[in-house]
Structure 1
Amino acid sequence: MASIFISLGSNINKAHYIRSANAVLSEHFNELVYSSVFESESIGFSGNNFYNSVIGATTELSLDEVCRLLKQIERDHGRTDNDKKFSPRTLDLDLLFYDDVICSSPAQLPRDEIIKNAFVLWPLAEVAPEFIHPVVKQRIADIWQAYDKTQQKLWKVELPVV
């Protein structure tokens, strides 16, 4: 059984897509742990604010199967393969860790953005504070503690009740 951590992001109908992704992911993975939902400004382009969160889970799926499933869930939620990297999106699912695997294919693991972006690191620190980053060899909580929190604006939000 592998431990995985998935980053979720949306800036189009964001509450709907974050809720929907949580529901779909709960159908495919076990022992889910949810971070708070955070709102942040767009980074790399001018656009609506994003909602971001991280889910920790366990799975019997292989790394390849998890990556294919996440891409399919994105497509099922309106993403296309033609979407630009820095652009508005209905749903962005990024596999952050698959156990302590370090690789570049089928996905970059661990994701570079973990230690660069508060919108990934803060929610990850909520769900996996004791997890050791396999490259930098530090606990996620310690990486977050040392992070320059003045770099990016980020705040917790409650998802509106539909």
Structure 2
Amino acid sequence: MERIYIGMGSNLAAPDQQLRRAITALAQLPGTTLAGVSAFYQSDSLLPGQPRFTNAVAALDSNMAPLDLLDALQTIEKDQGRERHERWGPRTLDLDILLFGDQLIDEPRLKVPHYQMHVRAFVLYPLAELAPTTLQLPDGHRLSDLLTTCPFVGLERLPQE
């Protein structure tokens, strides 16, 4: 079993509900246990004019292969109405593999650690709720160092329900 961290985001069609449905779907993946979920956070879109995003991170323990998990995540996205028209457009659901154990993955369809996570507060702060800040990523970065270079700006931690 590998500890895997999944970044989740939505800014369309009731984002909080989209994330809750995704969490339920993640917990039902074969050979997988949902080990934890961060609080939900709101953040501005990376592009102007889009609705704010609701983000979270889920921790999974799974024996799925990386590309099999990617396929399963894309199926969950599609089942929740995700349409891939533009790279940075609004979306009902976005599920990204942030970390897959201590593996460095460089496949045409999958890069792990996620290539932009080090500059995204909406990923790092929820991740820090689930992973120890002493966590060393497979590329050598420490989560604690990434947190110090990526300030908690533009994020709003939503109250737990």
Residues 14-54 of structure 1 deviation map (CA, whole Å, 9 limit, x = unaligned): 01101101111111221421111100011134211100000
Q: Distance in 2 between matches of 1:87 and 1:159?
A: 27
Q: Which moved more, 1:64-73 or 1:40-49?
A: 40-49
For structure 2, the residue ranges without an aligned partner over 5 or more in a row are none
* Large movers: runs of 4+ above 2 Å: none
1:1-162 paired onto structure 2 within 5 Å: 1-12=1-12, 13-28=14-29, 29-80=32-83, 82-105=84-107, 106-129=109-132, 130-135=134-139, 137-144=140-147, 146-149=148-151, 152-158=153-159
On the 8 A contact 1:45/1:86 being kept in 2, the answer is no
Q: Distance in 1 between matches of 2:19 and 2:150?
A: 27
Q: Distance in 2 between matches of 1:84 and 1:62?
A: 27
Q: Which moved more, 1:59-68 or 1:126-135?
A: 126-135
Normalization by structure 1: what TM-score?
0.89
CA shift, 1:134, in A, is 1.2
For structure 1, the residue ranges without an aligned partner over 5 or more in a row are none
Q: Distance in 1 between matches of 2:95 and 2:73?
A: 6
Residues 44-73 of structure 1 deviation map (CA, whole Å, 9 limit, x = unaligned): 342111000001111011111101000100
On the 8 A contact 1:95/1:111 being kept in 2, the answer is yes
Which amino acid counterpart does residue 85 of structure 1 have in structure 2? Answer: R
Aligned residue pairs, count: 156
On the 8 A contact 2:6/2:59 being kept in 1, the answer is yes
Which amino acid counterpart does residue 134 of structure 1 have in structure 2? Answer: P
**Partner SS state of residue 28, structure 2:** helix
Distance 1:96 1:148, change over 3 A: closer
CA shift, 1:159, in A, is 6.0
On the 8 A contact 1:113/1:120 being kept in 2, the answer is no
**Partner SS state of residue 49, structure 2:** coil
Q: Distance in 2 between matches of 1:159 and 1:16?
A: 13
Normalization by structure 2: what TM-score?
0.89
Distance 1:15 1:31, change over 3 A: closer
Give the root-mean-square deviation of aligned CA atoms.
1.6
Q: Distance in 2 between matches of 1:109 and 1:34?
A: 20
